[in-house]
Structure 1
Amino acid sequence: MHKLFHLTHSPIECYFHPSVRDFVVREIPLYEASGAGEHLMIFVRKKELSTFEMVEILSNVLGIKSAQIGYAGLKDKHATTYQYLSIPRTFESRLSACSTILNERGIKVLECRAHTNKLRVGHLKGNSFFMRLKKLTPIEAQKAINALEILKVSGFANYFGSQRFGKDGQNYQEGEKILENLRITRDKKIARFLLSAYQSHLFNLWLLERMRLNKMIESCSPKELVSSAGGYGVLDSVLCDERVVRELKAQEQFFKLLRGDVAVHYPYGKAFVLDDVRAESTRFIQRQISPSGALCGKKLLGAQDVALEIERVFVDSRLREVGSRRYAWVWAQDVAYTYKPEVAQMELSFSLPKGSYATIFLETLKNAHH
């Protein structure tokens, strides 16, 4: 899918290939293990394994049902990743007896502690990342450093990364086929996974339209925009009203808030519908709130007013999964980098809130439009 980014520099040429040496992901837990309880919280390091593959190996080696293994998030396959899992505590001695076998399969258990509950998806604060960028000339490196300094302050558009959509990028189409009864999937886990890929695809399409709106507001005068209304597709309803366009133009931040947008307290908290856009724009700049897009489904808190005109195009009412909101805009923290001109490489580290993709941060940095 084509994406739009907010930075304006020419594309940065460099090479990044996810591998165990050049890509390291470390989960930031939501809470520490309690030290007591019927579950065991395990901190593991895995290499060249998806989370699903790791769960399957643990299930086979320990003789435990995969449904009894808890995890907080899905981690990249082509990387060295550190993440938390939970298993019933009754398997503690079996786990220590099998450490060599697990090691051989790419899973190293680093620590175990008793805990009161099973880990659930989403029980994490975020992730920290290390990336090694290669074939980066000194000129391109300087462009990257300038862009990173801007990104530290500005934040970036929170697209779903291509990993979300499978090897060929078509998972969302399979999800849509399930809704149209063109595909029957007996495995509920796979069906849910494909449907959530479709939810993610709709979110990305919505975010692309909002980024298109932001770009136009930044680069054109209200008069120019209003006089061309009728050719903007989804955005026509917003851009035909000069008063709305002037309100948007007055906002200082790149991602413009619309009346009726659903914002969420940042980095976690409750969702609410925006009313006073000017006041909320200040809170957005201060990183207290962020606008959100729909992961459509039942019980969704939907946008209202002007924001609804755009959102409704990307809401599929056939989705019966529970709907939720996803930040449209996020900020990287702890951004640090070292450039090594003798090998034309940059070592880059940063952390992101849960559900945000390091690959999207990198695509934003490179500003390569595909």
Structure 2
Amino acid sequence: MDWAYWYGKPVSTAKFKQVLSDFKVVEDIGFSPSGEGEHIFLLIEKTQLNTAYVAEQLAAFTGLPLRNISYAGRKDKFSISTQWFGVHCPGKKSFAWDEFDLKGVVIKSVSRHDKKLKTGALKRNAFTIVLRDVSDISAVQQRLDNIATGGVPNYFGSQRFGEVRYLDEAGQQCTKFGGNLTLAENLYNGKGIKNRNKRSVAISALRSWLFNTYISEKIRQETFATVTSGDVCILSGSNSFFTADKADASIQQRLVDRDIVLSAPMWGAGELAANDDAAVFEQTLAAHYPEITNCLVDLGLKQERRAIHLWPENLVHRVIDTQHIEVSFGLPKGCFATSILREVVQFTTNDATDHCAVNQLPE
């Protein structure tokens, strides 16, 4: 799974997550609670706690079933994370939240809303990340400047596959594969997965792997930032898309201006939205992995599209000293901080990419 780099393999090395404050993330749900209703929204800052555990403790404190506790997205345990939890209280029951005593949790605000907080009800996540023992600060700064202008491939992060990247004693980058892809192999080999959560993880890993393969191949073929005939273009900031009838200068300029972004298939049943040259590319690559595509169809998934290009919002960096740098940026929901970091540095510890999930997946 050596996905292609947009700017070439990074030359600088660094360490990540040496201390909890090296990784901070703040959720933005994109709206303000209404102030009334039978749903209580809690904005919680948690430190070294996983999301599911906090939800369990909220259920125990309120005496409500765990199903009454919700959250917009899961956040990493080894971090300082500020995120939203929802508590469904039929009858508008109140609680003394100042008495909720859980080490590592600070309740920042309490408000009511008339609708449930649903998983995925996020607009963006804001990250503040510290890279330590950076071998070449100037190279990192140059990469960050390039990314601010040119974005990065919108890869699914390595943690979705249970994958960890690290440098061995000889300085060579190595990959250690985890259990998610092993579970995925069970799916397309016809072995059932009884645990619902593990099954969901396996399906996500399988579909995401194929999507990443599309991005990587487009980079290798030098079509990652070029419209080809029949490409499916997503309107920036929306879920709407259209198929480019021809690759002319006007549509290419819209891509350069970030008015549109190219997409690749999230595989499932149904016809590809692409046609002409783009459809040939997508069908040809899919034909190399029939066991995966057939499995995803058999699982009942439908053809969808996902943007292949990602631009971080408000990307800034601050040099702390000659070996440490702080990086801040925002990402839309469903995107991964590791998509940014993998283009910046190679990590010298094997835990660097194991903790950056932003949404949806178990910690």
TM-score, structure 1 as length reference: 0.79
Question: Aligned in 2, Cα 1:300/1:98: closer, same or farther, shift over 3 Å?
Answer: farther
Q: 2:310 maps to which residue?
A: 330
Answer with 110-119 or 263-272: which moved more: 263-272
Question: Aligned in 2, Cα 1:200/1:19: closer, same or farther, shift over 3 Å?
Answer: farther
Q: 2:219 maps to which residue?
A: 211
Q: 1:80 maps to which residue?
A: 80
Q: 1:66 and 1:176 mapped to 2: Cα distance?
A: 32
Which residues of 2 match residues 306-345 of structure 1 at below 5 A?
Answer: 306-312=277-283, 313-314=285-286, 315-316=293-294, 317-341=297-321, 344-345=323-324
Q: 2:89 and 2:270 mapped to 1: Cα distance?
A: 35
Gaps of 5+ in 1: 215-247, 249-253
- CA-CA distance at 1:257 after TM superposition: 2.4
Question: Aligned in 2, Cα 1:208/1:18: closer, same or farther, shift over 3 Å?
Answer: farther
Matched residue SS, 1:14: strand
- CA-CA distance at 1:8 after TM superposition: 4.1
- CA-CA distance at 1:280 after TM superposition: 2.3
- 1:261·1:273 contact (CA, 8 Å) conserved in 2? yes
Q: 1:240 maps to which residue?
A: none
Q: 2:230 maps to which residue?
A: 260
- CA-CA distance at 1:305 after TM superposition: 2.2
Q: 1:39 and 1:299 mapped to 2: Cα distance?
A: 38
- 1:3·1:208 contact (CA, 8 Å) conserved in 2? yes
Q: 1:60 and 1:322 mapped to 2: Cα distance?
A: 38
1:164 aligns with 2:143: no
- CA-CA distance at 1:274 after TM superposition: 2.2
Question: Aligned in 2, Cα 1:150/1:184: closer, same or farther, shift over 3 Å?
Answer: closer
Which structure has the higher relative contact order (CA within 8 Å, separation 6+)?
2
2:7 counterpart letter in structure 1:
L
Cα shift readout 1:164-222 (whole Å, capped 9, x = no counterpart): 1236433133134235431231x4343223212211111112211112112xxxxxxxx
Question: Aligned in 2, Cα 1:354/1:147: closer, same or farther, shift over 3 Å?
Answer: same
Q: 1:178 maps to which residue?
A: 187
- CA-CA distance at 1:18 after TM superposition: 6.2
Q: 1:162 and 1:269 mapped to 2: Cα distance?
A: 25
Matched residue SS, 1:277: coil
Q: Which has the higher strand share?
A: 2
Cα shift readout 1:275-317 (whole Å, capped 9, x = no counterpart): 2323222111111111122222346763222222232334442
Q: Which has the higher helix share?
A: 1
Cα shift readout 1:57-77 (whole Å, capped 9, x = no counterpart): 333443333333222223222
Amino-acid identity (%): 27
Question: Aligned in 2, Cα 1:18/1:304: closer, same or farther, shift over 3 Å?
Answer: farther
Give the alignment's Cα RMSD to 1 decimal.
2.6
1:141 aligns with 2:137: yes
Q: 2:13 and 2:255 mapped to 1: Cα distance?
A: 32
Matched residue SS, 1:284: helix
1:271 aligns with 2:274: no
Q: 1:96 maps to which residue?
A: 97
1:74 counterpart letter in structure 2:
R
Matched residue SS, 2:342: helix
- 2:55·2:69 contact (CA, 8 Å) conserved in 1? yes
Cα shift readout 1:13-35 (whole Å, capped 9, x = no counterpart): 22212642100011122211111
Residue 280 (structure 1) aligned to one of 248, 251, 254: 251
2:139 counterpart letter in structure 1:
K
Runs of 4+ deviating beyond 6 Å:
none
- CA-CA distance at 1:260 after TM superposition: 2.1
Question: Aligned in 2, Cα 1:59/1:211: closer, same or farther, shift over 3 Å?
Answer: farther
Q: 2:202 maps to which residue?
A: 194
- CA-CA distance at 1:340 after TM superposition: 2.5
- 2:143·2:343 contact (CA, 8 Å) conserved in 1? no
- 2:44·2:83 contact (CA, 8 Å) conserved in 1? yes
Q: 1:322 and 1:75 mapped to 2: Cα distance?
A: 27
Q: 2:172 maps to which residue?
A: none
- CA-CA distance at 1:12 after TM superposition: 1.2
TM-score, structure 2 as length reference: 0.80
Q: 1:43 and 1:177 mapped to 2: Cα distance?
A: 39
Q: 2:244 and 2:232 mapped to 1: Cα distance?
A: 6
2:85 counterpart letter in structure 1:
L
1:178 counterpart letter in structure 2:
L
